[in-house]
Amino acid sequence: MELIDRGAEPDLDTQLRDARHAFDVMLAGGVTVLPLSVSYAIFAHTASGVERIYTLKNRPQSKPNGVIGNWAIFSEVFQVAERDRDLVRCLTVDHDLPLSIVGPFNPHHDWLRTVEFGALRRSTKALTMDLLMNAGPLHNELARLSLEGGKPLMGSSANLSSSGSKFRLEDVQDSLKQGCDLVLGYGTSPYDNPLGMGSTIIELPTWKVLRWGGCFEEQAQLVQRHFGVTLEPRPQSGPWTLV
């Protein structure tokens, strides 16, 4: 295991270099722990790397992974109506908030041309994909490299299954970190929250909330203001996720 703990979020140039290093590790078959704005995450590119994520997390085989994305990937790959695009643009581009989208995608897009079947199978369900967008500069650079190289990156939160998202590197279980090839630490995730929830997940085209993330209330206010739609509020008690 290679451990790079920077103690706090570094400058942009350092994050861009870290993203390239992590990208190369994942392309070579490795598994990485990444400090994203929504929580620490564990990602890979190859089928063998993705399978290792399931083993390290003790993740149920029925639960698909998420995929690192950005506005360009969403725009090119997802097959949704213009109003759905307006929703995603409003939250991620206009207001710079993180968001996960579950929706239908084009399985024949060039971005997916090199992905191994096992990795894709673990990261899609019934021709839908969970795309994580705008989760910090490191994430955004990885998304850019992913689209440019046609190399999707797939993973989940860096925690043992059902133990809640981790917002500090020291809270990520040692057994998970020890099984990875690269572990990056940037201090506390910006969207740290006492609920232990990562990104909000919204399903398209229904606009159903599948997970109420750390900044959900701000997102819900924006959706109400710009679209006149009231998203289902966060439950008063758990569970805060439907996936």
Domains of the chain: 2-227 (3.90.870.10)
> What percent of the chain is predicted at pLDDT more than 90?
85
- Work out whether strand 40-44 and strand 154-157 pair parallel, antiparallel, or are unpaired: antiparallel
Confidence class for position 84, pLDDT limits 50, 70, 90? very high
pLDDT attached to residue 242: 46
Residue-level pLDDT at 162: 81
Res. 79: pLDDT tops 70: yes
List C-alpha distances in Å: 240 to 90, 119, 144, 183.
23, 27, 30, 28
Region of residue 229 (left: phi > 0; alpha: psi -120 to 50; beta: else): beta
Find the helix or strand (DSSP H, E) in which 172 lies. none
Among 102-106, 124-128, 139-143, the least confident range: 124-128
- Write down the pTM of the prediction: 0.93
- Confidence band of 237 (pLDDT split at 50, 70, 90): low
CA distance 112 to 108: 7
Question: Of 237 and 8, which is predicted with more confidence?
Answer: 8
The dihedral through the CA atoms of 203, 206, 207, 209 has a sign that is: negative
Is the pLDDT at 105 greater than 90? The verdict is: yes
Using pLDDT thresholds of 50, 70 and 90, give the confidence band for residue 177: very high
Where residue 243 falls among pLDDT bands split at 50, 70, 90? very low
Q: pLDDT averaged over the chain?
A: 94
Q: Given the DSSP bridges, would you call strands 201-203 and 40-44 parallel, antiparallel or unpaired? A: unpaired
Q: How confident is the model at residue 239 (pLDDT cuts 50, 70, 90)?
A: low
- Which of these ranges, 23-32, 83-92, 117-126, 213-222, has the smallest mean pLDDT? 117-126
Q: Token pair 């998970």 is at which residue?
A: 176
Task: Return the pLDDT at 241.
Answer: 57
Q: Is the pLDDT of residue 157 over 80?
A: yes
